[in-house]
Amino acid sequence: MKLFYSPGACSLGIHVVLEEIGAPFTTQRISTRDGANLKPEYLAVNPKGKVPALALDDGSVITEYPAIAMYLARANPGAKLLPEGLRAEIDCLSILDYIAGTVHPMGFTRQFRAARFAKDAADEARVIADGRAAAESYLGVLAENLRGPWVFGAQYTVADSALFFIEQWCDRAKIIPPPAILAHQQRMLARPAVQRALTTESA
């Protein structure tokens, strides 16, 4: 397997999942800051021009965060990265989708890439403020869904690594999340798999 990631991007959550599983994988840095995600070589991998993308050993490529996370969890049942039972699994998918489809774009992309959403330069401050307010409200929902110590209680799952990239983005956006989220981030930072992913991405 090969993970295409950009340092500190949402792909960090998938990077953590791969480290948690412990199966062999390689990484390729595609820095969105440098526009590497829009170069023809990468568009040949993922025509959407986004990270993460996961290339499997059979040559196929999976895109979209929830799809990659669910694939990795289901393909590696021994790692126990999904809560048990169909109903709980669907709740996990629901969290992944909320993070990838709502919190990420509506809360944080609006802050980090305001120019994309603004009518003109003068409008950017409004877009950032709207993104910040939305992020704060979404973090409240995520805190309510956090049973502790992990999202699904005693079992660590792929929902935790998704929440982690959002927690790291709170630091970047200078947002102080609810205490339960802050405590979860500290627990994540203590995990060896998280430390390995952060070390690779900061190299």
Ligand X SMILES: N[C@@H](CCC(=O)N[C@@H](CS)C(=O)NCC(=O)O)C(=O)O
Binding site for ligand X (CB under 6 A): 6, 9-10, 32, 37, 49-52, 64-65, 100
Least separation, in Å, of the C-beta of 114 and ligand X?
13
Write the CB contacts of 68 (distance below 8 Å, at least 6 apart in sequence). Answer: 14, 52, 53, 54, 62
Report d(CA 90, CA 97) in Å as an integer: 10
Q: Smallest distance from the beta carbon of 174 to ligand X, in angstroms?
A: 18
- Cβ of residue 100: shortest distance to ligand X, in angstroms? 4
Kindly state the smallest distance separating residue 113's Cβ from ligand X, in Å: 7
Q: Give the separation between CA 200 and CA 44, rounded to whole angstroms.
A: 24
Q: β-pairing, 26-29 with 61-63?
A: unpaired
Q: Which one, 15 or 184, has the nearer CB to ligand X?
A: 15
d(CA 83, CA 184): 18
Sign of CA dihedral 107, 69, 179, 8: negative
Min CB(200)–ligand X separation in Å:
17
Nearer to ligand X, 3 or 155 (CB): 3
Q: Which tokens hold the place of 64? A: 């979209």
C-beta closer to ligand X: residue 75 or 80: 75
Element spanning 63, H or E: strand 61-63
**Minimum distance, C-beta of residue 112 to ligand X, in the bound complex (Å):** 8
Complex with ligand X: residue 64 or 130, whichever CB lies closer: 64
Residues 6 or more apart whose Cβ sits within 8 Å of residue 201 = 5, 7, 8, 12, 15
Is the Cβ of residue 32 or residue 155 nearer to ligand X in the bound state? 32
If the CB atoms of residues 65 and 156 are measured against ligand X, the closer one turns out to be 65
Contact by Cβ (8 Å): 15, 28:
no
